Amino acid sequence: MIYTEAQYNVDTIKRLFKLCLAVFLLFYSATATIADEFNCAVKGNITNLPELVVKTQQDIIETAQFGNMNPMLEIAERNEVWPVPDFGPEANYQEPPIRSWVKQSQDTEGRYILAQMIEILSLPYTKKPLTQGVDLYIWPYFALSDLTYPCTEDMINLLKIVTPAEYKTIRETGKYTGYQLAISTDGTWHYFARKNIKASDE
């Protein structure tokens, strides 16, 4: 087959177009990856968790795996005060927290909350200062982050522990409204409850 000069020009243009497209896609992919990583919430290093925090974390997970809320009271009672189970306006801090957790589990006899504890403590953590020399270690790691534009990894981790409806609200407000758990440097369990919610959302 004999190519005319016009056909050569068309073929050359096609090859140049494909080359430019490939370069663009390669550059765009790399840029998108960098952007995703840049926007991800910061995770705490698991090797930096204090020993007493790790013990409380593991005790909660192991106890939750029994599927019975009653043994969780033993861990809650190690503190001078019970961990907060609810930050809502009608919260009752005079009764054991396991009663509130069972109520929040609706008809699952507390198992929904136990499952949430396991899933949340299986994710990375973040931390913030509590008092001088004492930090608060908080799960999940994005609990204090702006989640208006989460990276893909944060989206997937978020959807492990909230419903699609909750996820939509979180994206709109930028604030995490699912359950979070906090343990201080000395191993004290401070709370397992939801924050950033209105009374009507509960």
* pLDDT tens sequence across 139-152: 999 999 999 999 99
- As a whole number of Å, the end-to-end CA separation of the chain is 75
Tokens matching residue 22: 């490939």
Tokens matching residue 141: 């790691």
Residues in CB range of 168: below 8 A, 6 or more apart: none
Q: What is the pTM of this model?
A: 0.78
* pLDDT tens sequence across 87-137: 987 778 889 999 999 999 999 999 999 999 999 999 999 999 999 889 999
Give me the amino acid identity at 61.
I
Domain boundaries, the chain: 1-39, 44-201
Q: What is the DSSP letter of 201?
A: G
Residue that is written with structure tokens 């994710």 in the block: 123
Partner residues linked to 127 by β-bridges: 137
* pLDDT tens sequence across 152-193: 999 999 999 999 999 999 999 999 999 999 999 999 999 999
C-alpha to C-alpha distances, 81 to 8, 23, 140, 175, 189, nearest whole angstrom: 82, 61, 23, 28, 9
